Structure 1
Amino acid sequence: MKSDADMVRIVNEAISKELAEVGFAGGILVAYSGGIDSTVLLNVLAGLGLSSLRVLHVVHNLRPEKELALERQLIRDYCGALKLPLRIATIKPGSIEKRARGKGIGIEAAARELRYGILLREARKYGCGIVCTAHNADDQLETLLGRFLGSSSFEGLKGMPKSRRLGSRRLGGTVRLCRPLLSIPRSAIEAYASMKALKVSQDSSNDSPVYLRNKIRKYLVPVLDREFPGWRKGLESTAGRLAADGEILAGLLLEAYGKIRFSESGRSASMELKVFLGLPESLRVRLLTRCMRRLTGRSRLSYRAMREACRALSFGAQACDLLRYRLIIGGELLQILPILDFRKEGGYFFLVADEAVRRAGSMEIHCYWDKPEEKNDSVEAVSVSALAEGSFSFPLAIRSRKPGDTIRSGGKDRRIDELLSDWGIEGRHREFVPLVEDRNGIVAVLADSLEGLGYGQHKFRDYSGPLKGRSFVIRIKGAYF
């Protein structure tokens, strides 16, 4: 049996080894909760004499204020003793619960998403290339058990990696998340804290049976330890083999995902049907899941729903609905298009694929082809702009503006908000001016399509290709009543 001194040495060596493998150019940001794991991690890192070490504490506001205040004071005192710069970030009360409800996820998952977002923001702010968290070997096993009980895929059953990229390279450079304690059991961490006489905070939520991780730790793990003494090594070995197999599947999935074409608006997607149907079912389901996550912004999707949609298409269905989207087989393409027609406070959205009359509340949208040869020159025509056939593609989304909307006109991107201001559109009418969008972005802004308001302005997307003669007219009634 290892002594406490051996445990201290093991912890020190493990952390030093992990940092050496990852490298830490640009500094390290340590996620410090005040608990035993992060206190030990911070103690070891401070002992290494790193000059570019910073500390971040995130207040989740899920526990009593008195407990949080004592925890913050302990954290300030310890960082002060170590002479380390400390930043305390506070999540607004209710934000975690709101995120959990909005995304259909648990409180733990919602808190984790917000926490990692704060860690990434702060790391970029201070130029830190590494974010260190204090997950240990017991956390890893509890994570694997939780994911197994939750019917996870191979990605989940690989467990937490020791290191991964945090955030996107596209958004401000690369920050890596590092878990230097991931191979260290909780018993070694406790021995280290005891030997060093470290003061730690006690999180009352760790005793709550509401959270799955606590149930696993308090009820399941003791039974496994007693009845199946070798379960830990067995689970670690299985996770390792799944990780190796997962690298192959991840490569195939990445290759297939690269063949999906997303619209500039990010609201629709398409890919070659033969590519999609040529994949094994397991990869089709994973590919569709990844695509739908991007389109819907939802991280948790029903595996059964994804699988049933894939099977419907492979068995010959020409269309099926999934999460307010319609999967349509058209010629050689599989298209994934939004199907919701709605009007709500502050906005509207219609989807049209040809001539149509659509209604939502008091609004009516009329779309029709206007053929030049059918015009009667003896009758005074109503002046209205229309989309030239050939300059756009169906389906068309006809919607109200969103923050950041732009249209390509005159060789540059014009902001819709500035355009409406230049036209002198009254503020109360701007939410009703329709934007017409196809899979390649915004086609037109049609203020003159609003009946009864007297606006005559419109703006079309740059287009230099061939035209086919007809014009597609869009008229909106009742938007402002």
Structure 2
Amino acid sequence: MALERAVRETIERHSLLPVGETVILGVSGGADSLAMLHLLSRLAPAYDVTLHVGHLNHRLRGAEAEADAAFVAAMCAEWGIPYTVESADVAAVAGERGLAIEETARQVRYAFLARLARALGARTVAVAHNADDQVETVLMHLLRGAGLAGLRGMRPLSRLEELRLGDPASHDVAEGSIRLIRPLLEVPRAAIEAYCRAHGLEPRYDLSNLDRTYYRNRLRYELVPYLETYNPNVRQVIQRMAEALAGDYELLRQQLLEVWPHVVRHASDEAITFDLAALRDLSIGLQRSVLREAVHRLRRSLRNINWVHIDDAVRVLNDGSTGAAATLPRGLLLTIDYDVATLAPAGYTPPRANVPRITRRIALPASGTIPLEGGWALTIERLPREALPADWRTNPDPYVAYLDAARCAGPLELRPRREGDWFIPLGLGHRQRVRELMINAKVPRDVRDTLPLLLCGADIAWVVGLRIDERFAVTAGTTTVLVVRVVEGMPPAANRAGDVRMEDD
């Protein structure tokens, strides 16, 4: 028949059936899945595949749902096909997740099929979406403001972990790569129903598919017929558009995977931090793709994220200065901070920068090693100028300061920054507020008030990690040099000073 030939062509064109393996079939008992089961049972010997049916009772329709499960079990037993029937309280899960029944049923159903596939060692799951389902899916995505990923609709071959399954269910799916095939995707619903009649198949009918309170049903029975009054071939037009956009999406996806490691500085389950300059160098289209990918990685779904949200985030990304932010649904916030952009939950506290910090004044000895907070330590030694290392003038280590010991004659102490602090940065030639220096150096906000300052008497001699004061710089007339180092961890042979005093500021 024409339908069997069309399905064969789809299978061959997309290499859907893995030779010699097990394929899990999601079968509800309706016309689409029953036709798929019948067709694949006829084609299975040619591909040496083993079929296993999975049926999930969503417990939404009482006795009717029980009858569906019994029907599928009886059909599989009659045809000699192994099967697994399970049930799930979809309504209860929807309440727990705060989702609509339709979306929850989808999540739970795919998670069940994924678990079944893993339990049986199968790498392929087949579902019975048809060409009319494709039209409805594309329209749903269009109306919610989807990007290319949504407007390309469903694909004959994809992977379960690519589905937008929501937080809890996605973890069930993401463990391992499972192929998701749709062998009937290019076949219209009418042809499938005709196939069932021709082969004496009597599918179950879910009356909820006629209930127009469900969004998809309204599209099916109201919007699509209305669009056909403008173009009788609108279904074919939408299918062709989805196919064309799928090619564009694959190209963009390939580019995204290439640029991702170059624009991401740090990624975790909590937050993703981008190199702002690298991200701004991308085209607007790639920027949108990067942000959508980041949202999906953090939330395992793009539910409630539409074009407007991503576009607002891209605008802030390109035009915003430090402190600018874009709010996205699902509790996410994109923030700009100097040279980075961070996507994270609102209220997210980033890991503390790995820099020395102090919260109190510390009176220092003339020489020796003392512990600082957070596992850091400070060492002080006095050396004749001729004993300095060869590279002391360029000083490649920001945590080492060379100071004129004679000029730094006052008592030494460390303390955090105070409002109004100033010094004369080496090479600048005039006074500058310490806060301004830190801002120019892009010191994170949470570090500025705890970064140590070294004082000689009443004057700031060194903003640790940044700059020394030119009044204390080593000159041609310097004979003894005060070498101050801040290191992570106590040196093994540390000569700890015994007279260190920590005081409340």
Give secondary structure in 2 for the equivalent of 1:17.
helix
1:215 is displaced (CA, Å) by: 0.9
Q: Out of 193, 198, 202, which is 2:201 matched to? A: 198
Give secondary structure in 1 for the equivalent of 2:488.
coil
1:21 is displaced (CA, Å) by: 4.9
1:152-171 equivalence runs, <5 A: 152-167=146-161
**Matches of 2:90 and 2:138 in 1, distance apart?**
30
Q: Is the alpha carbon distance of 1:234 and 1:123 closer, same or farther for their aligned partners in structure 2, counting shifts above 3 Å?
A: same
Q: Is the alpha carbon distance of 1:15 and 1:40 closer, same or farther for their aligned partners in structure 2, counting shifts above 3 Å?
A: farther
- Aligned 8 A contact 2:312 2:326 in 1: no
- Aligned 8 A contact 2:16 2:157 in 1: no
Aligned to 2:102: 108
Matched, 1:232 2:235: yes
Q: Out of 81, 87, 95, which is 2:84 matched to? A: 87
1:196 is displaced (CA, Å) by: 1.1
Aligned to 2:422: none
What is the aligned-residue RMSD (CA, Å)?
A: 3.3
1:147-186 equivalence runs, <5 A: 147-167=141-161, 173-186=176-189
Aligned to 2:60: 62
Aligned to 1:279: 282
1:23 is displaced (CA, Å) by: 2.5
Aligned to 1:314: 318
**Matches of 1:337 and 1:51 in 2, distance apart?**
45
**Over residues 209-235 of structure 1, what are the superposed CA-to-partner deviations in whole Å (9 max), with x where a residue is unaligned?**
122221121122333445522222322
- Aligned 8 A contact 1:327 1:334 in 2: yes
- Aligned 8 A contact 1:270 1:333 in 2: yes
Matched, 1:43 2:38: yes
Q: Out of 114, 124, 129, which is 1:130 matched to? A: 124
**Matches of 2:175 and 2:124 in 1, distance apart?**
14
> What amino acid sits opposite 1:310 in the alignment?
V
Matched, 1:335 2:335: no
Q: Is the alpha carbon distance of 1:303 and 1:236 closer, same or farther for their aligned partners in structure 2, counting shifts above 3 Å?
A: closer
1:120 is displaced (CA, Å) by: 1.2
> What amino acid sits opposite 1:388 in the alignment?
G
1:132 is displaced (CA, Å) by: 0.7
Q: Is the alpha carbon distance of 1:253 and 1:121 closer, same or farther for their aligned partners in structure 2, counting shifts above 3 Å?
A: same
- Aligned 8 A contact 2:25 2:54 in 1: yes
**Over residues 331-350 of structure 1, what are the superposed CA-to-partner deviations in whole Å (9 max), with x where a residue is unaligned?**
43333455527xxxxxxxx6
> What amino acid sits opposite 1:313 in the alignment?
L
1:8 is displaced (CA, Å) by: 5.2
> What amino acid sits opposite 1:54 in the alignment?
H
**Matches of 2:174 and 2:182 in 1, distance apart?**
23
Aligned to 1:387: 374
Matched, 1:213 2:216: yes
**Matches of 1:286 and 1:203 in 2, distance apart?**
38
Listed as ranges, the gaps of 5+ residues in structure 1 are: 1-5, 342-349, 355-366, 376-383, 391-464, 474-481
- Aligned 8 A contact 1:8 1:191 in 2: no
TM-score under structure 1 length normalisation: 0.66
- Aligned 8 A contact 1:24 1:129 in 2: no
Give secondary structure in 2 for the equivalent of 1:369.
coil
Q: Is the alpha carbon distance of 1:315 and 1:468 closer, same or farther for their aligned partners in structure 2, counting shifts above 3 Å?
A: farther
- Aligned 8 A contact 1:71 1:201 in 2: yes
> What amino acid sits opposite 1:219 in the alignment?
E
Aligned to 2:408: none
Aligned to 1:270: 273
Give secondary structure in 1 for the equivalent of 2:282.
coil
Q: Is the alpha carbon distance of 1:111 and 1:227 closer, same or farther for their aligned partners in structure 2, counting shifts above 3 Å?
A: same
Aligned to 1:467: 488
**Matches of 2:54 and 2:145 in 1, distance apart?**
34
1:371 is displaced (CA, Å) by: 5.0
Give secondary structure in 1 for the equivalent of 2:374.
strand
- Aligned 8 A contact 2:145 2:306 in 1: no
Aligned to 1:32: 27
Q: Is the alpha carbon distance of 1:142 and 1:302 closer, same or farther for their aligned partners in structure 2, counting shifts above 3 Å?
A: closer
Q: Is the alpha carbon distance of 1:262 and 1:24 closer, same or farther for their aligned partners in structure 2, counting shifts above 3 Å?
A: farther
- Aligned 8 A contact 1:293 1:299 in 2: yes
Matched, 1:303 2:307: yes
Aligned to 1:400: none
- Aligned 8 A contact 1:134 1:179 in 2: yes
Q: Looking at CA atoms only, which structure, 1 or 2, has the larger radius of gyration?
A: 2
1:389 is displaced (CA, Å) by: 4.5
Q: Percent identity?
A: 28
**Matches of 1:47 and 1:238 in 2, distance apart?**
32
> What amino acid sits opposite 1:335 in the alignment?
T
> What amino acid sits opposite 1:308 in the alignment?
D
TM-score under structure 2 length normalisation: 0.63
1:7 is displaced (CA, Å) by: 3.9
**Over residues 15-71 of structure 1, what are the superposed CA-to-partner deviations in whole Å (9 max), with x where a residue is unaligned?**
6536855434421110000000000110112223456210100112222x1111111
Give secondary structure in 2 for the equivalent of 1:387.
helix
> What amino acid sits opposite 1:387 in the alignment?
G
> What amino acid sits opposite 1:315 in the alignment?
D
1:260 is displaced (CA, Å) by: 4.7
Q: Is the alpha carbon distance of 1:389 and 1:308 closer, same or farther for their aligned partners in structure 2, counting shifts above 3 Å?
A: farther
**Matches of 2:282 and 2:253 in 1, distance apart?**
13
Q: Is the alpha carbon distance of 1:52 and 1:328 closer, same or farther for their aligned partners in structure 2, counting shifts above 3 Å?
A: same
Q: Is the alpha carbon distance of 1:214 and 1:338 closer, same or farther for their aligned partners in structure 2, counting shifts above 3 Å?
A: closer
Count, aligned residues: 359
- Aligned 8 A contact 1:166 1:177 in 2: yes
1:326 is displaced (CA, Å) by: 5.0
Give secondary structure in 2 for the equivalent of 1:318.
coil
- Aligned 8 A contact 2:27 2:54 in 1: yes
Q: Out of 72, 77, 83, which is 2:69 matched to? A: 72
